[in-house]
Structure 1
Amino acid sequence: MARYLLGIDNGSQSTKVTVFDEHGVPHAKARVPLRPNDTPQPGVVEHPDDDLWDSIGAATRAALESFDGSPADIAGVGLCTIRFCRAMLRADGTLAQPVLSWMDERVSRPYEPVNPDVRYVSASSGYITARMTGQFRDTAANYQGVWPIDTDTWAWVDEPDIPRDMLFELVSPGELLGTVTAEAAAHTGLPAGVPVFATANDKAVEALGSGLGDERTLLLSLGTYIAGMTTGARNVHDAKAFWSNFACRPHEYLYESHGIRRGMWTVSWLRDLLGDEDRLNAGAATVAPGSDGLIAVLDWLAPVEAPQRRGAFLGFDGRQGRFHLYRAVLEAIALTLCGNGNAMAAELGTEFDRVLVSGGGAGSEVMMQIVADAFDRPALRAPGGAELGSAICAAVGLGWYGGFDEAVAEMVRPGTEFVPDRTRHEQYQRLQQVHRQIRDYTDPLFSWLAEVQR
């Protein structure tokens, strides 16, 4: 009998669900957009109503409806959700108040007990686990930032600032979270009793599904938050050019460069303004490197340390049109991540031989070629992503493979390779100097504008 796995990727903009076989081949998939975040006041960004759970149910039902097999053929589920969210739950595991987005200012501060209905405080993955399985158990690898976790041991600290009985039991990626309850089965279309397995934070799960496994490969994750990532066994503290996150392999680490907030959201925003994505990509491919002098400053969501920043296009002189705007954003993404990735490599004492690219932007040929040219390294489309990474965790948990390395070797296949052009790389080297220094000029401008507009 064929064996199948269901991988869930509950992201910032949508929930994606894919049914894979034991070799990592997709057999059915679905995507359900999330509703716009509620932002009733500055700094507050919440997921409306029960949108995360609703979208997971809708996407799972849609994927199973398009699956040629039977839901009874699903042997296990891998669950991945957005990182850095905070969910406050009642005693029965339902929401006591809306889930705080990773963009909400409150998630950068320790939890404050202001709602008497709150019995548990968890990441979004803990909340979905409780809804899916009825268990108050979660992956350790989705707790970073202000959570009271020891990043060396992957365990709660001895004296957490949140009462210990309000925190979930922690397990490692690939371990059992629980089984699908009858209520969750009715919501998702999955059979009751199907085992659900832990993964990690969404970036780490994406890295696993993309085949990232060594310190000489850089993965560019083109998501709502864009970052460059590599992996290793050391928990590096106090690094300057990157930070150490939990990997999806237990007790390994994912090194993340500085990134771009609302990265691919900015691309989606521009596409909604300018028209069809395929046409924009085709048109951008006809524009010369450098976009005829047009530069994009990618601060559509300002960083916490510089709240006055804003996004900008600089250098209009009448030659540019919609394709220049689009290419300028793609170039700004690639050049920013090239600089950040190289800084991370220097601090780690390594050098990258190739660049993997995952996320929706990897489907753009012009984006892939810009990445190859900017880095002067082969750029490969990562064939998987967080859905495949989730399925790999389920396969390991079910004992289908001898560990994560064996599962990745069997289930992840390399994608199309784009070869760098030396002449274009030399031009991008010059442009990178501009991108590296441009905020020295725009920061004073936006600070002045912030003062004027008060």
Structure 2
Amino acid sequence: MTAYLVGIDNGSQSTKVTIYDEHGTVHARGRVPLRPNAMPEPGAVEHPDDDLWDSIGGAMRAALAVFEGRVEDIRGVGLCTIRFCRALLRADGTLAQPVLSWMDDRVSRPYEHADPDVRYVTTSSGYITARMTGRFRDTAANYQGVWPIDTDTWSWLPEPDVPREMLFELVNPGELLGTVTEDAAAHTGLPAGLPVFATANDKSVEALGSGLADDGTVLLSLGTYIAGMTTGARNVRDAEAFWSNFACRPGKYLYESHGIRRGMWTVSWLRDLLGEEDRLNEGAATVPAGSDGLVAVLDWLAPVEAPFRRGAFLGFDGRQGPFHLYRAVLEAIALTMHGNAEAMAAELNTKFERVLVSGGGAESAVLMQIIADVFNRPTRTANGGAGLGSALCAGVGLGLFGGFDEAIEAMVRPGTEFVPDPATHQLYRRLGAMYAELPSHTDPLFRWMASALD
């Protein structure tokens, strides 16, 4: 009898539900886009109404509607949601106010109790767990930043700055959160009593589902925020080139490099301006490496420490057209992330021998080849992601696998490999050295522009 596992991936732009078997084969998918964020005042960014729970219900029902297996053969659910959100709940587990997005200024500050209706303070995963199971339990691996958690022990600090009775019970990835309630069954279409298992923060779950398992591999996550990630056993504090996050394996850590804000968003923005993505990818493949001297500066969303920065294209001389613009952005992504990954590797005293790439950008053959040529390493697409990582956690929790390594071996399938071209790499090596110096030249210009336009 086939055992099926459900992976929930509630991301920043949509909720995706995928039903897998224990071999990693996809049997059904459902997706519901999230509604635009509400911004009721400067600095406030909220998920409107009950959008997260509504989208999970809609995506689950959509997946079940096309699922050809028996619903009673679904063995468990893995739950992954957006990291760095904050949910304020009433005593019954419903929202006292809309969920605060990771972009909301308030989540960068410790919680201040101002609303008497608030009984619990939790993450987005804690909130969805409460709605799904009726239990006030959450994964420890989705608490990072200002939460009162001991990152060595994965437990609450002895004297948290939030009253302990307002915090959820913590469990590790792969452990049981609870079972689907009758109300949640009516909302999602899942059977009541189905076990729901903890995962981690969305980047760590994505890393697990992509097959990241050793410190000789770097995973480039091509999302709205582009990051480079690797894994290890040390809780590295006060690093300069990366930060340590909880991994999706108990006791392990995910090291995350500096990244690109609005990374693949910039690619989508350019595509909307210039035309169809397939045509742009085909055209960009005909442009020589280096884009005939055109260089993109990718600060379409300025970093917090340098708010004056802006995005730019430099080096026009009349040879360039729309395909050059597109390739220049793809090259800037690869060059930026190579520099960030190398800085992380140096601080970790390791060397990356392989590159994995996840996210929608991995579907672009021209971008994959650029990454392989820039890194000068074999570069492979990751077929999984947070949905598969969620299902892996459910499989481990159910005992279908002897552990996370066995689950990866059973369910994660290798993607397409791209081999670097040595001559192209030499060109990119020279371009990368120039690219690393660009901010020292563009920062004074953008500072002057910001002051002139203020």
User: Deviations along 1:97-133, whole A, 9 cap, x unmatched?
Assistant: 2212112222111112232322111111111111111
- 2:109 maps to 1:112: no
Helix, strand or coil at the partner of 2:350? coil
The worse-fitting range, judged by mean Cα deviation, of 278-287 and 195-204 is 278-287
Helix, strand or coil at the partner of 1:357? strand
TM value normalised by structure 1: 0.97
State the shift of 1:360 in Å. 0.7
RMSD: 1.3
Query: 2:376 matched to which residue of 1?
Result: 376
User: Deviations along 1:153-198, whole A, 9 cap, x unmatched?
Assistant: 0001011111111111100000001111111111111111111000
The whole-number CA distance in structure 1 between the counterparts of 2:163 and 2:446 is 42
Q: Is the 8 A contact 1:87 1:99 kept in 2?
A: yes
The worse-fitting range, judged by mean Cα deviation, of 345-354 and 44-53 is 44-53
State the shift of 1:41 in Å. 4.0
Q: Is the 8 A contact 1:71 1:189 kept in 2?
A: no
Q: Is the 8 A contact 1:6 1:18 kept in 2?
A: yes
The whole-number CA distance in structure 1 between the counterparts of 2:188 and 2:147 is 30
Query: 2:75 matched to which residue of 1?
Result: 75
The whole-number CA distance in structure 2 between the counterparts of 1:175 and 1:283 is 48
The worse-fitting range, judged by mean Cα deviation, of 315-324 and 92-101 is 315-324
Query: 2:193 matched to which residue of 1?
Result: 193
Query: 1:281 matched to which residue of 2?
Result: 281
Query: Superposition pairs for residues 404-419 of structure 1, below 5 Å?
Result: 404-419=404-419
The whole-number CA distance in structure 2 between the counterparts of 1:118 and 1:245 is 28
Query: 1:297 matched to which residue of 2?
Result: 297
Helix, strand or coil at the partner of 1:255? strand
Query: Superposition pairs for residues 105-254 of structure 1, below 5 Å?
Result: 105-254=105-254
The whole-number CA distance in structure 2 between the counterparts of 1:133 and 1:270 is 42
Q: Is the 8 A contact 1:90 1:96 kept in 2?
A: yes
Query: 1:432 matched to which residue of 2?
Result: 432
State the shift of 1:9 in Å. 0.7
User: Deviations along 1:367-395, whole A, 9 cap, x unmatched?
Assistant: 11011000000000111111000000000
The whole-number CA distance in structure 1 between the counterparts of 2:266 and 2:48 is 21
Q: Report sequence identity in percent.
A: 78
The whole-number CA distance in structure 1 between the counterparts of 2:194 and 2:311 is 46
Query: 1:100 matched to which residue of 2?
Result: 100
Query: 1:443 matched to which residue of 2?
Result: 443
The worse-fitting range, judged by mean Cα deviation, of 440-449 and 287-296 is 440-449
Query: 1:326 matched to which residue of 2?
Result: 326
- 2:30 maps to 1:30: yes
Helix, strand or coil at the partner of 2:250? coil
Q: Is the 8 A contact 1:176 1:397 kept in 2?
A: yes
The whole-number CA distance in structure 2 between the counterparts of 1:110 and 1:409 is 40
Query: 1:54 matched to which residue of 2?
Result: 54
User: Deviations along 1:180-224, whole A, 9 cap, x unmatched?
Assistant: 111111111111111100000111101111111111011111111
Helix, strand or coil at the partner of 1:199? strand
Which amino acid letter does the alignment assign opposite residue 76 of structure 1?
Answer: G
Which amino acid letter does the alignment assign opposite residue 166 of structure 1?
Answer: M
The worse-fitting range, judged by mean Cα deviation, of 39-48 and 385-394 is 39-48
Which amino acid letter does the alignment assign opposite residue 448 of structure 2?
Answer: W
The whole-number CA distance in structure 2 between the counterparts of 1:31 and 1:323 is 31
TM value normalised by structure 2: 0.97
Q: Is the 8 A contact 1:108 1:145 kept in 2?
A: yes
Which amino acid letter does the alignment assign opposite residue 389 of structure 1?
Answer: G
State the shift of 1:317 in Å. 2.8
Query: 2:393 matched to which residue of 1?
Result: 393
Unaligned stretches of 5+ in structure 2?
Answer: none
Query: 1:364 matched to which residue of 2?
Result: 364
State the shift of 1:342 in Å. 0.8
The whole-number CA distance in structure 2 between the counterparts of 1:273 and 1:347 is 39
Unaligned stretches of 5+ in structure 1?
Answer: none
The whole-number CA distance in structure 2 between the counterparts of 1:182 and 1:310 is 51
Length, aligned pairs only: 454
